[in-house]
Amino acid sequence: MSLQYFIIYKPYNVLSQFSHSPGKATLKDFIHVDTDIYPIGRLDFDSEGLLILSNDKALNHRLLNPSFGHEREYWVQVEGDIDEAALVKLRKGVSISLDGKNYQTLPAKAAKFQHAPNLPPRNPPIRFRKSVPDSWISVILKEGKNRQVRKMTANTGFPTLRLVRYSIGGINISGMMPGEMKQMNRESVYGLLFGK
């Protein structure tokens, strides 16, 4: 079996899977790969951005096992003009609900963008409300719990409007459009993710 590696910019309102799901778009609607290729990890239906696809089981283990703690960067549009106090809370870790129990998130990196980042428009777009400001932040995590970023920003009083995973380790979606896929080789993938 030859190992293959791809990255895709998963569009908004698309499931992170190839199998059919009635009434919902899947990766199969945008790209065609061999049947043994699958997403490593996932992005929620209503989130966008980087997904790594491969048939490399060792890579799957390294990326999904929490003990390796690799960084994932999310660009997040939040409702309201987020303040430093909220960013400090995100950096220290906040309590979120996970499977009906309280979970304390690990410390994160969080910073506010001075201007909205250069991203393709979302389809459909975020509903614009003149009376309610919004802002963009970068959040870098070493864990990936279910809907974690959304729960974290909600905890600080700034609900998430748009969520884009920009990077995993040194791999990012810079210059890519939603639905676009790029093939990579093993050396590049492992070098960018693990520095070797």
Domains of the chain (ranges; CATH) run: 5-66+171-194 (3.30.70.580), 71-168 (3.30.70.1560)
Alpha helices in 50-101 (DSSP H): 57-64, 84-92
* Structure confidence at residue 61 (pLDDT): 87
Residue of 94, 92, 89, 73 lying closest to 142 (CA atoms): 73
Q: Which of 29, 34, 36, 44 is catalytic?
A: 44
* Structure confidence at residue 196 (pLDDT): 61
Q: Give the pTM.
A: 0.94
Q: What is the pLDDT of residues 20-40, one digit of tens each?
A: 999 999 999 999 998 899 999
Classify residue 113 by burial, with Cβ atoms within 10 Å: 0-12, 13-18, 19+: middle
Residues 6+ apart with CB under 8 A from 133: 80, 81
Q: Which residues of the chain have pLDDT under 50?
A: none
* Structure confidence at residue 131 (pLDDT): 80
- Cα distances from 18 to residues 3, 163, 193, in angstroms, run 18, 22, 24
As a whole number, the mean pLDDT across the chain is: 93
Q: Where do we find the tokens 């490593």? A: 40
- Catalytic site includes residue 29: no
Q: What is the pLDDT of residues 65-90, one digit of tens each?
A: 777 778 999 999 999 999 999 999 99
